[in-house]
Structure 1
């Protein structure tokens, strides 16, 4: 009997390891494909397109080489990083968002919670924003657009979590009413701010970035129609309009995009 229990526990552990490995591989694949697709949508700089990398005779004086330890700097590397405090931030961001994506995939594939597919545009927006922050930090571009992107990325992460909670709650009446209003306010604010700053020459990219906010707003409107008790009264509308005004003011005072 004990042997049977141990055997079942062993198989359960093996299954967990396999699921973790496969989900990690799948997550890495999605991030890699998403990175290529988003770059294709945004476009390439001509200098990068026509620049040829010589892998046989490549030197770089812009990295300290400390991660090589006692070994020499050598030649061409697939990736480089310097021993700076920002590398900790960059690695933390990558690991954090990668794990969130892995858990999201497990929710859909293992638990077959397919309603969460509505979060796919939000995932794209989150990773686009985080990849942009990583590039700003990597380029040491701290003052021009970093604060603006941090504002968008943090608020995007917040409403993604709220929308996730709204989707997994079966009885929509049990959804905290404040979370629906906050979801509405931030999503609407994203659209207003985005139209004021995004480059309209890149229409496809612009639409993909605000698609998650549009889905949030449409979902909320549908729920307001289905459940009248979720609709705000006049006093509540004024309160949340004031909150929206505070967020809008905070953005333009502290985080505004600067050329």
Structure 2
């Protein structure tokens, strides 16, 4: 972790700041934050679809005949009077005017805006020498679960497949709650308190239990899942362990004699119990 902090500190110096804490971020540094956040969001779907899927996962997909392609299920509403449903030509992208399309737009817009603002905030903390590196690692580990949540929601609405919708929504909401706390703790001026740590750790424990009982054991340990299912489950497992290990270590390093009270321990156990019951039994 010290090596990471040193590397990032050198990078901060290269982009023009050796300022003390509480330094106001300059205009060109704000532009750097915006451009960097934009590029990260831009590259995520390209890496996912344009590289992993196109080049490695399904490189032998049948090529589309653009000259004779027809989109008979396209309602052509967004094209106005230019085209009518039926024998319409090839489109690089088309969408139908349905409430599912609006919900896909809503979730996508929310994901992009929130992720963009989080990245800007973290880069600003870096410029002000207020970034807590351990929590940055926790945040980075959250990128895959959140991206998967968005992509799953996209496909549920796009395919009209809702069998696992509320189960996934449970993971998405709880992951978001944990990430809110993690982003707050990325600011070194924010105290690492027992309550904040217990929120992050309890949510991750719930994910481990529910995910383990749901898919991980059968698809990974019993080798009943396909390759992408095993990779996906491991991709969820590692962030949950990081969310438990790093916050606990950070807390005990800085606790200054503070211990968890009996009430806090009871709340911790109760949160895990309720979370497992909701995620495992009520939303199946």
TM-score past 0.5 threshold: yes
Q: 1:114 to 1:61 in 2, by over 3 A?
A: farther
Long gaps (5+) in structure 1: 1-11
Q: Does 1:249 align with 2:277?
A: yes
The answer (yes or no) to whether the contact 1:63–1:81 under 8 Å persists in 2 is yes
The answer (yes or no) to whether the contact 2:138–2:246 under 8 Å persists in 1 is no
Long gaps (5+) in structure 2: 1-25
Normalising to structure 1: TM-score of the pair? 0.79
Which is further off, 106-115 or 148-157? 106-115
After superposition, give the CA deviation of every residue in 1:216-256 in whole Å (9 maximum; x if it has no partner). 10112213432165542334322321222112112233322
Q: 1:67 to 1:206 in 2, by over 3 A?
A: same
The answer (yes or no) to whether the contact 2:182–2:200 under 8 Å persists in 1 is yes
Match of 1:68 among 72, 79, 85: 79
State the aligned residue count: 239
Match of 2:65 among 38, 54, 58: 54
Deviation at 1:186, TM superposition (A): 0.6
Q: Does 1:134 align with 2:131?
A: no
Match of 1:161 among 180, 203, 220: 180
Q: Does 1:208 align with 2:250?
A: no
SS in 2 for 1:172: coil
Q: 1:109 to 1:65 in 2, by over 3 A?
A: same
Deviation at 1:190, TM superposition (A): 0.6
The answer (yes or no) to whether the contact 1:121–1:208 under 8 Å persists in 2 is no
Deviation at 1:36, TM superposition (A): 4.7
What is residue 95 of structure 2 aligned with on the other side? 81
CA distance in 2, matches of 1:103, 1:54: 41
CA distance in 1, matches of 2:65, 2:83: 19
The answer (yes or no) to whether the contact 2:207–2:240 under 8 Å persists in 1 is yes
What is residue 6 of structure 1 aligned with on the other side? none
What is residue 96 of structure 1 aligned with on the other side? 110
Cα RMSD between the aligned structures? 3.0
What is residue 195 of structure 1 aligned with on the other side? 212
Normalising to structure 2: TM-score of the pair? 0.72
Structure holding more helix per residue: 1
